[in-house]
Amino acid sequence: MLASLGLASSGAPVFAQAAAGLPPATPTAQQPARPATTPAPAPATQPPAVAPPAPAPFPAGSKFAYVQLPLLSSLSADGKVAAARFDAETKKKQADAEAKAKKMAADQQRYDGGGSVMSAEARALLAKDIERQQREGERFEQDAQAELNELQQQLQNEYNKKLFPVLEQLAKDYALLGLFSAVESGLIWADPGLDLTLEAVKRMDAAPTPKPTAAPATPPATTARPPATSPATTAKPPATSPATTAKPPATPTSPARP
């Protein structure tokens, strides 16, 4: 089951309107393309969520129920915070895109009206600058859209991390065999008492926000030490026995004569 924060419908189209002021064509050095001078229309604000009527009693013994995920996200505190954060980032990038478009439009008007007062060298430099602004504007649009997509996915993951345990516990408490999303399941009709959206909203707001998963700490790099070498020993020569001087053999003495 996919949980929707309702951000996709307001993300890419909103920025696409903001970036509409950036001209798609690449100007030539002789005649830069004229950017759109009309500011991009402000995105239509979504109407405030209308509180649904009081829920009907849950049919006794029912084993299946459903929730309306878009309504759940628009009513829950976590969904409102995520939507506000995404909307603020979108408007910021929209304002940046409009400022770039206005700057290039002003330079384009200066180029068009400077034929008689600007030198050929100055006009050529201005044309190159307009081309540079256009390239940077296109890159900005691509980067901004990628960043909005990444933020949307991040917010969706954080929201789901809290939503799914709540829905799982809700299904267990009601002894359900299945809990459906009214949008993704293609539900055509069901008893209003099977709608547990408001109950899910109350539980979402009461549940603690899970702590972000900390990145695993990487152990500090250790430098391998070379094995200790024993100090070099100088080989000692073998001990020599002290030199002995050979004594000459004793000479016999002749006996004394009488």
Per-residue model confidence as pLDDT tens digits over 190-201: 999 999 999 999
Mean pLDDT of all residues in 174-193:
95
CB of 94 closer than 8 Å to CB of 39: no
- Does residue 130 carry a pLDDT above 70? yes
Residue 116: predicted pLDDT:
75
Residue 72: predicted pLDDT:
97
- Does residue 237 carry a pLDDT above 80? no
- Does residue 40 carry a pLDDT above 50? no
- Does residue 230 carry a pLDDT above 60? no
* Nearest-angstrom CA–CA distance, 214 and 227: 37
What band does 213 get if pLDDT is binned at 50, 70 and 90?
Answer: low
- Does residue 36 carry a pLDDT above 80? no
Please state at what angle helix 77-113 crosses helix 120-173, rounded to 10 degrees. Answer: 170
Can you give the pTM of this predicted structure? 0.65
CB of 72 closer than 8 Å to CB of 202: no
* Residue-by-residue DSSP string for the chain: -----S-HHHHHHHHHHHGGGS--SPPPSSSPPPPP-SPPPPPPPPPPPPPPPPPPPPPTT--EEEE-HHHHHHHSHHHHHHHHHHHHHHHHHHHHHHHHHHHHHHHHHHHHHTTTTS-HHHHHHHHHHHHHHHHHHHHHHHHHHHHHHHHHHHHHHHHHHHHHHHHHHHHHHTT-SEEEETTTTT-----GGGB-HHHHHHHHHHSPPPPPPPPPPPPPP-PPPPPPPPPP-PPPPPPPPPP-PPPPPPPPPPPPP-
Mean pLDDT of all residues in 204-212:
87
User: 3-class secondary structure for 81-120?
Assistant: HHHHHHHHHHHHHHHHHHHHHHHHHHHHHHHHHCCCCCCH
Q: What are the sequence ranges of the domains in the chain?
A: 8-28+38-206
Percent of the chain with pLDDT over 70: 62
Residue 96: predicted pLDDT:
97
Query: Average pLDDT, whole number, for the chain?
Result: 78
pLDDT one-digit tens code per residue, 63-75: 999 999 999 999 9
Residue 70: predicted pLDDT:
96
